Amino acid sequence: MAQQTGRTGVPGPEGPAGLVPLVGECLELPADAERPLIVLLGPHGAGASEAHGALMARFGTDLAPFAYLNFGSEQPLRPRYALGLIARQLERKLPRYRVSRFPRLTLGLLASDSELRDIGDLSTIPLRDQRRELHRRLGQLEDRAFQARGDYLSGFVQVAGSALGVPAGVPPVFEEMVGGAAREGARMVSGVLSRHRFAESARWYGEHRLTRGPNPWDAVIELNHWRRGSAEDEDKLERILFAAFLEDLRRNAELSFAPTSYLLLLDSCHTAYGRRFLTLLLAAREELRLAARHRGLPRPATGDPLTVVASTHRWLADWGAPSGESWGWEVRPPDGARLADWRERRPPGDGRWWYPLRLRDLTLDEVRARLSEEPRRDPSLAPFVHRFTCGLPRAVRQVLTLLDQADLPAGGGHARELWLRRLPDRTLPGASVRRRGRTLPGAGGGSVTAAQGVPPDDAEENTSLAEAALDLLLAGFDDRQRALLRTCAATPDLLTGYEVFGDGPAAQGAESPASLFGKAHAGFLLVTAREGGRLVLHPWPRRLLLWQLAARPAEWDAAHQRLSEHHAAREEPVRAMYHRLALHQINAVTAYLVRRLEEVDTPRWLAEFRTVAAAPNRIPKDKSYRDVLGPLTRGGAAEPASRLEAAVRGLLVARWLWGDPLADPERALGSTLAARLERLAEEHPRSDSLRLLNEAERYRNWIQPQTCAEEG
């Protein structure tokens, strides 16, 4: 993983280009300025955790108080527990600032604590004594918390401490900062039970629009009743606690020697409680904005000092269709993210606070940089790793973990090609997944989530790369959907696969969130093809699904046969030939390409040829291109083929194997492809020979593109 050095000189992970400067801009804003809620979008393994780690390393040491929570942890994290954990972390003392306090939030959490018996009715007590009696009862709970844990907020660590695990790749010093800030502290660290702060905080609750009357003590009692009331009461409790949290942040920022910005990092917000947390936070922020505008001031303070960077591995239902059209945001990568861009493109309505950024795959140079971090690694493998993984950050990290194994043959040659050929089946060190279990450690950091209630001894050891990667990428897909997705992977166009293998020929409901296509789209498993703009499966999960499909020969043949017939019936011969080549029907595909030489011009023929030759193959796992190139080129025909047909067949087989990184990991077939294109130019003089010769030179001097193109 590429490293950046924080302000303290401690190296940390390098985040996506553009994200760190954007957050830096937000942290430099005045405390009352409006800030975006930055949300990082991408599939599992897209680099969200690394981005959080980079922000933690860059800003969390002394620039601003920060808090990190992972809503994808094993422990479900209710929003009010999350607020307690966040406040506990933000109270960490930084050398340049005074300690931040959260008296309103802490009073609200104390009053609504499940361990506190019903406060009861204080109306029989004289008004002058109500504050004293309420203080006494809440103080008893504070005393019990002090005896058990040191202070009240630290108790939330025991309830939901598993959400504090820092992202993969972050140095241990930051893990200690997160965990230590949540564990350590002194009694009454928030000062909530001091006479002044207690009365001030209670008065704030009494003046809030959600409480019934002006008596502050009745308002605090009402919080306790809400905790034990209906779902509507629970909603009101959470809303007022979030409002108290933002109010505490604003009041802190008004003090001398206090931070004017706070950084909140939220991982895996696609979970139920993660979505709920974001909804409550934005509702509190919008309420604060509207209330400030209603005051009629010339320049109302409509913001708060909290900079939030959240991540989600699924498109949230509140945003509408995954295309983003109904939401009002055109999602872009973080490279060009700036505050000015957010302000310029900020839509009206519910989307005004969001700033969605789609995490992109690594470029070839970025993959090469990660290989160069370890002296023992061979940088010449960067093009292979990039082609194989398409640059998905977690996939790159997992492959590098395997390449670091001592049994990788050194240098090039047949032995290393065969070793790389079986890479998807190789055991990934540290990978341990369950069929559908609680959170388990995943390879290269992160976690794997499955259904609750599976006993610990159900964990599967010796997990292969393909199993470990797909288990995380397809989290949320049941066994039936995974099997269907494996079959649909026979075509890069998932919608076509869904039409053929899904719910009928029309695939009614294909775009619905519950469908296979809808879940894959919402889970960021689809990318836009470079040509045609259609949505196709991301090459990394598709490659692994095809690897598993190839291990089931009958399923492989049935899938490609049905797809070939489907496209033939629709008079789409090029796509039909793609699947016939996957069935190893090389003679039929060769005959088709020979006919097309006479029917279309050379540029179009080359485009069709590339589309057909991008088909997947099912050559044996123990063989590389060296072992199969000759037999597949010669074929089994009884009669010798014509010279033109032999030239086309040889070119087709070479291009077919060249396109598979597991068959030709170092693209050694480039010179063979060039020679066979030159031969075709000789055998078919009526073609555009110059175009064929230029194509030959392109393969002979192949330059690996920086970004991953569509795989088929």
pLDDT in tens, 315-344: 998 888 887 777 888 899 999 999 999 999
Q: Which residues are registered as beta bridge partners of 307? A: 263
Comparing 320-329, 394-403, 522-531, which segment has the lowest mean pLDDT?
Answer: 320-329
Kind of pairing between the strands at 262-267 and 66-70? parallel
Q: Show the tokens assigned to 250.
A: 């604003």
Candidates 554, 206, 501; CA nearest to 198 is 206
What is the chain's mean pLDDT, rounded? 82
pLDDT exceeds cutoff 60 at 251: yes
Query: Quick check: helix, strand or coil at residue 430?
Result: coil
In percent, the amount of the chain with pLDDT more than 90 equals 51
Rg (CA), the chain: 30
Q: Lowest-pLDDT range, 189-198, 578-587, 657-666? A: 189-198
* DSSP 3-state of 460: strand
The position carrying tokens 């527990």 is 81
What's the confidence (pLDDT) of residue 296? 60
Short-list 201, 303, 311, CA closest to 261:
303
Tokens of 636: 């089994």
CA atoms within 13 A on the CB side of 277: 33
Q: Which pLDDT value is given to residue 687?
A: 82
pLDDT tens per residue across span 281-304: 999 998 888 877 666 655 666 789
Whether pLDDT at 87 is above 50: yes
pLDDT at 431 over 90: no
701 Cα distance to chain centroid: 36
How many angstroms separate the CA atoms of 102 and 87, rounded?
A: 7
DSSP E strands in 171-220: the ranges are: none
Look up residue 276 and give its two tokens: 């709920």
- Token readout for 520 is 């894959």
pLDDT at 1: 40
Instruction: Count Cβ atoms within 10 A of the Cβ of residue 690 and give its class: 0-12 exposed, 13-18 middle, 19 or more buried.
Output: exposed
SS3 content of the chain, % helix, strand, coil (to 5): 50, 5, 40
For residue 401, the one-letter residue type is T
Tell me which H or E stretch contains 262: strand 262-267
Q: What is the mean pLDDT of residues 640-658?
A: 92
Nearest to 190, CA basis, from 132, 138, 133, 230: 138
Strand (E) or helix (H) holding 310 = strand 306-312
| pLDDT band of 438, cuts 50, 70, 90 | very low
Distance of CA 147 to the CA centre of its chain: 41
Q: In this structure, what token pair is assigned to residue 37? A: 């809620």
Mean pLDDT over 42-60 rounds to 90
123 vs 285: CA distance, rounded Å? 34
Block residue for tokens 């905790």: 227
- Asked if pLDDT for residue 71 goes beyond 70, the answer is yes
pLDDT score for 542 = 96
Q: Give which of 103, 68, 309 is closest to 193, Cα–Cα.
A: 103
pLDDT for residue 507 is more than 80: no
- pLDDT score for 170: 53
pLDDT band at 510 (very low <50, low <70, confident <90, very high): very low
What is the chain's length?
Answer: 712
φ and ψ at 311, to 5 degrees?
A: -135, 145
> What is the number of other CB atoms lying within 10 angstroms of the CB of residue 146?
17
> How sure is the predictor about 711, in pLDDT bands with cuts at 50, 70 and 90?
very low
- Looking at residues 170-192, what average pLDDT do you find? 49
Structure confidence at residue 531 (pLDDT): 72
